Amino acid sequence: MRKNNFFVYICVKFYKIMKISTFIVVLVIIIGYFFIQSSPANRNEHKNGSMYTAEVKKVIDEKCYGCHSVQGKSQKAKDALIWDSLPNLQKSKMVATLDDIIEVLKDNKMPPEDVIKKYPEMKLLPQEGKILQSWAESRADSLLK
């Protein structure tokens, strides 16, 4: 009789362990799904360097990167945007940042007047602003699809 109770005890323990194991597997799958969803929006694009077209990269390098990079001249500019960080943002944050870029370009707020006075060559030409704005609108639209 004792062996029979021991067998039942082992079976009950095994059943509880299996329930816990199943729960853990399901939990890992759910966490993995959310981790993937919150990963950078286009990790492969960043590795390929295709986040920016050559035309966009040229404008960024010539007119924006001096302030909006880790080595940038202005902490305020770095706090607002670091171009190298953009590809690593979560999808929702990237869309919001692209919307901010679009708004700043529409309002002709970049570069700021004091920067243009000091460095007139940094002024965005109308065509350069259009290039960046068109790119930002296109990227934001593609991320929302």
User: What are the residue ranges spanned by the domains of the chain?
Assistant: 43-144
The one-letter code for the residue type at 65 is Y
How far is the C-alpha of 69 from the C-alpha of 63, rounded, in Å? 12
pLDDT digits over 54-111, tens only?
Answer: 999 999 999 999 999 999 878 999 999 999 999 999 999 999 999 999 999 999 999 9
| Omega of the bond leading into 112 within 30 degrees of 0 (cis) | no
4 has a pLDDT exceeding 70: no
Distances (CA, A) of 79 to 4, 10, 19, 32, 69: 69, 60, 48, 31, 10
Q: Which is nearest to 77 in space by CA: 69, 87, 85? A: 69
Dihedral (Cα; 113, 55, 50, 122), 10-degree rounding: -20
The model carries a pTM of 0.66
Residue 40, strand partner residues: 90
SS3 40: strand
